[in-house]
């Protein structure tokens, strides 16, 4: 009898999901007394003979994270750099160096690669970092793998949120998602949100300021505010309750929502790739400039699980981006 073709099941990455897969891979890894913070946060924290540093890696794939017919090489380089610089920012640190692995098809113009490199250097310079090395290879599509290193005197993890803390955000929310929706419908306006999708503007000043102010937990918003705060809730064993009345829905999002039939609040709550920061602080803390309180942290009710609520209720629908769906 011929073997039957197997469909998706519990063994597939689609079924396990990104973070379930990370958990499984992590179980196969080792440990060292030099690893102060390992997998599970925006960056690892490693001890060296003369100090410590934080380090993180991200991967961007053509057709999934960017399109060459939507963005220039310079814009793609800036976006790839921003995604990685943001990871150090989310730990309360400042990036100092990046290495870049690049795969490109053989017919890629060399000038395109040079412009990509200029984009990296341009964005890295915003925080005083530089590209210090990397590797190149042939690939069927453009693949960009970036490792970022930096300094974080007091790394802020996802696992420190406590009941009674306030939840605050810094930076824009929903703009990149609005830009993606706009481009996906074949439009190029409002230009502000299209530009925000092509080149995000993370609040690079906010991470270190939050750490200095005593932030108890922090994460960057790469997959969506609800999705990313979900990591904080689970890591900390708490419930995060957001107040929609405290969230800002900027005018360009209202315009996109009306034109495309989208809920602007959903863009704010579930849109990713703006690389805003979300953090928790003890209630008496005087927040740094640019941080806005948008919710609170609560105990997990008996019999319940850590979760993110919106105005006290479960959000109906996807909380943000999911790989392999």
The tokens describing 230, both together, are 């979900």
The H-or-E segment that residue 81 falls in is helix 73-90
Find out whether 130 is annotated in a ligand binding site: no
- What is the side-by-side strand order in the sheet with 143-151? 35-37, 44-48, 51-61, 143-151, 94-104, 130-138
Find out whether 65 is annotated in a ligand binding site: yes
Find out whether 223 is annotated in a ligand binding site: yes
Name the nearest CA neighbour of 292 among 302, 279, 304: 279
Find out whether 87 is annotated in a ligand binding site: yes
Cα(204)–Cα(82) distance, rounded to whole angstroms? 9
Question: For residue 302, what is the DSSP state?
Answer: T
Find out whether 222 is annotated in a ligand binding site: yes
**Rg value, the chain, Cα:** 20
Find out whether 321 is annotated in a ligand binding site: yes
Q: Which residues contact 228 (CB under 8 A, 6 or more apart)?
A: 219, 220, 221, 222, 272, 278, 320
The H-or-E segment that residue 270 falls in is helix 264-270
Find out whether 291 is annotated in a ligand binding site: no
Find out whether 56 is annotated in a ligand binding site: yes
Residue that has been written with the tokens 């009710």 in this structure: 301
Find out whether 58 is annotated in a ligand binding site: yes
Beta-carbon-side half-sphere exposure of residue 56 (alpha carbons within 13 Å):
29
Q: Which residues contact 233 (CB under 8 A, 6 or more apart)?
A: 161, 239, 240, 306, 307, 308
Find out whether 86 is annotated in a ligand binding site: no
Find out whether 41 is annotated in a ligand binding site: no
Find out whether 32 is annotated in a ligand binding site: no
Cα(112)–Cα(218) distance, rounded to whole angstroms? 36
Q: 3-class SS at 122?
A: helix
Residues annotated within the binding site are 42, 56-58, 65, 87, 134-135, 158, 220, 222-223, 273, 321
**Which residues are annotated as part of the binding site for ATP?**
134-135, 158, 222
Residue numbers in the known binding site for Mg(2+) are 42, 56-58, 87, 135, 220, 223
Annotated binding site for substrate: 65, 273, 321
């Amino acid at each position: 009898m011929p073997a039957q073709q197997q469909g998706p099941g519990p063994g597939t990455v689609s079924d396990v999901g990104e973070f379930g897969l990370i958990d499984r891979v992590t179980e196969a890894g080792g440990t060292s007394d030099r690893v102060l913070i390992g997998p599970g946060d925006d960056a690892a924290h490693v001890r060296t003979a003369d100090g410590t540093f934080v380090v993180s890696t991200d991967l961007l794939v053509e057709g999934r994270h960017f399109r060459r017919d939507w963005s220039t090489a310079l814009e793609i380089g800036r976006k790839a750099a921003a995604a990685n610089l943001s990871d150090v920012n989310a730990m309360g640190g400042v990036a100092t160096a990046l290495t870049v692995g690049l795969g490109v098809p053989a017919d890629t113009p060399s000038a395109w690669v040079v412009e990509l490199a200029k984009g990296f250097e341009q964005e890295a310079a915003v925080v005083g970092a530089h590209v210090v090395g990397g590797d190149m290879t042939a690939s069927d599509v453009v693949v960009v793998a970036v490792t970022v290193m930096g300094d974080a005197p007091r790394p802020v993890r996802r696992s420190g949120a406590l009941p009674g803390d306030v939840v605050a955000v810094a930076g824009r929310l929903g703009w990149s998602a609005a830009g993606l929706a706009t481009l996906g419908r074949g439009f190029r306006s409002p230009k502000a949100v299209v530009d925000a999708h092509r080149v995000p503007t993370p609040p690079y000043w906010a991470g270190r300021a939050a750490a200095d102010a005593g932030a108890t937990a922090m994460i960057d918003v790469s997959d969506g505010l609800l999705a990313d705060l979900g990591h904080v809730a689970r890591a900390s064993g708490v419930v995060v309750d957001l107040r929609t009345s405290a969230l800002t829905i900027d005018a360009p999002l209202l315009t996109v929502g009306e034109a495309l039939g989208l809920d602007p609040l959903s863009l704010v709550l579930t849109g990713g790739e703006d690389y805003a920061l979300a953090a928790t602080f003890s209630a008496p803390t005087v927040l740094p400039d640019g941080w806005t309180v948008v919710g609170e942290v609560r105990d997990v009710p008996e019999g319940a699980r850590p979760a993110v609520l919106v105005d006290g209720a479960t959000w109906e629908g996807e909380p943000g981006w999911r790989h392999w769906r």
